[in-house]
Amino acid sequence: MADALGINARLLGSTETVYGTAPADNWSKLPFVSAELGSVQGLLAADVLGLGRDPAAPARDKVDLDGQVVVPVDLRAIGQWLTWMLGPPATTDTAGAAPYTHVFASGAAALPSFALEIGLPDKGDYFVNTGLGLDSLALAFQRSGQAAATIQLVGQKETRAGVSAGGTPATATFTRFGQFQGTIRKDGTALGNVVSASATFANGLEKAEVIREDGLIAGWLPGVTAFTGQMTVRFTDNVLLALAEAGGTCELTLGYVLSASQSLLLTAHEVHLPKPKQKIAGPGGLQATYDWQAARHEGLGKMLTVTLINDVESYS
């Protein structure tokens, strides 16, 4: 019997109308690098006495559904993940046609739930995970390599079926950003001498763990958001050090640019920098690492704006 192959696996996604209920339509095919998602139900060892030395049968415990999906940072499908992370964007066009500018903002009072189907066509097994919420999304920036996002998920239920729930899913043309197309800007100006950087947005989802006959959670609630990261820069000037010493703030933009009509930019409007420890480890060039934190900008009323420009008309 042939094995199921990862090369033939597929990932489909659709926004839920009713929490925890798999959508009947509007499924999209999503490119992915790896997936580790599904429900887990552990066993509780028997604690009874008086039945001899051999244990009684274990009992089943609660059901937990969470996991991680790594996806390419691409021009089109990434907008769906951003919608699940921040809520639907405000979209504008250019003279009634593409390119379309999708603007996402942090701080939404409610977030959409969604379903993901992991399909193994080789074996005819399709695992539908429902009641999902996007807990965090992490990006890493470096000089070379492929751009990818690591996504942490929280969900309610996994169901296995012999046929796909996705029917004929919508499939967008795949265009991936490369690390060499990355950009990092301070107050709108390109920040030079950055060796590497990372950024993580977290929704702080809180599971509603209630008593139920099926052992599932009742849902999840959005918590306090966070946008944090790290920058390692060559010690060529003291611009960031002076800012950190003064306790000042700056606007920080990280993202990828293919062209004026193809880009993804994440802008934190009020970034706080800690004063780093100076380290000299050898005769070469010196570097400093800043573990930055973003906060709500009082004037703008938000912490983060994500701007995606592409040829997708809507993420509704």
pLDDT 10s digits, 22-70: 999 999 999 999 999 999 999 999 999 999 999 999 999 999 999 999 9
Per-residue confidence at 277, pLDDT binned at 50, 70, 90? confident
d(CA 124, CA 129): 16
155 has pLDDT over 70? yes
Task: Using CB atoms within 10 Å of the CB of residue 293, give its burial: 0 to 12 exposed, 13 to 18 middle, 19+ buried.
Answer: middle
Give the pLDDT score at 1: 52
280 has pLDDT over 90? no
Distances (CA, A) of 267 to 93, 117, 171, 228, 280: 21, 31, 29, 12, 32
d(CA 173, CA 185): 29
pLDDT tens profile 94-153: 999 999 999 999 999 999 999 999 999 999 999 999 999 999 999 999 999 999 999 999
Give the pLDDT score at 236: 79
Supply 288's token pair. 């400093």
pLDDT tens profile 180-226: 999 999 999 999 889 999 999 999 999 999 999 999 999 999 999 99
Looking at the DSSP assignment, which residues form a beta bridge with residue 151? 69, 137
pTM surpassing 0.85? yes
284 has pLDDT over 80? no
In this structure, the number of other CB atoms found within 10 A of the CB of residue 278 comes to 10
Nearest 5°: the CA angle 180, 307, 193 is: 35
CB neighbour list of residue 47: distance below 8 Å, 6 or more residues apart: none
d(CA 78, CA 190): 24
Task: Using CB atoms within 10 Å of the CB of residue 247, give its burial: 0 to 12 exposed, 13 to 18 middle, 19+ buried.
Answer: exposed
Express as a percent the part of the chain with pLDDT over 70. Answer: 100
Residue whose C-alpha is closest to residue 225's, from 100, 130, 85: 85
d(CA 226, CA 268): 11
Looking at the DSSP assignment, which residues form a beta bridge with residue 230? 198, 291
